[in-house]
Amino acid sequence: FMGPFGFLIERARMSEDKGQFDQEDKIFSGKSAGMIIRREVFEKLNGFDRDYWIFLEDTDLFWRTWLLGWEVRFCPKIVVEHAYLTKEKPMKFYVENKVFYRGARNTIMNLVKNIEAKRWWVVLVNVLCWLVLGVVLCLKGDFQRGWAMFAGVGWNIINLPKTLKKRMVCGNKLPDEVMAKRSLGYYLGKAKAYVTGKPF
């Protein structure tokens, strides 16, 4: 789902699987590691935006799919395993591959490119969240990850004109079914996970 402050919300987060995800359903975004897309849609969207490289490039693609008037759906019969903070992909992997930099950079870029004009305040809130997280990490002595978030914000400021040119001109917007609200505790938990490096 898309949260009110521009961050992704995993719909199964903090949920026990009791079969409630065993049916096809609308979702905001999937993962590029386990997706199928119609060729005609992919070509109309000009594929993935190369400015992303990795991380949230799929979110941008799916958001633009919605804006083009198509739907994105979850298919329960397809199973994909995706390593995260495992021995195959420990925290060192994410630091070395600039995931924290790209997390801040690409989340903000997604909003600048795709959000409705009347909801531009979400971009400012999102930027503030990244800056606060960066400050907290620096205060903890984790300057590498903290600075990565500052750099991600800075990239968007420098490249704002370029990103604005990529905005799609269309009358479509995200349907309510793929928007989600969460409590403040949820967002604090996510922030803690980012700071501590432990899954939330």
pTM: 0.81
- Torsion 99-101-64-187 (CA) sign: positive
User: Tell me, what amino acid is at 32?
Assistant: S
Query: Which of 122, 153, 123 lies closest to 135 in space, CA to CA?
Result: 153
Burial class (CB in 10 A: 0-12, 13-18, 19+), 29: buried
Amino acid 175: pLDDT: 66
Place of tokens 């993935």: 48
Among 9-18, 46-55, 74-83, 104-113, the least confident range: 9-18
Q: How would residue 188 be classed by pLDDT, with cut points 50, 70 and 90?
A: low
Q: How far apart are CA 85 and CA 93, in angstroms?
A: 9
> Which range, 68-77, 92-101, 191-200, has the best average confidence (pLDDT)?
68-77
Take residue 96 and report the two structure tokens written for it: 């070395």
For the chain, what are the domain ranges? Answer: 25-196
What value does the mean pLDDT of the chain take?
A: 83
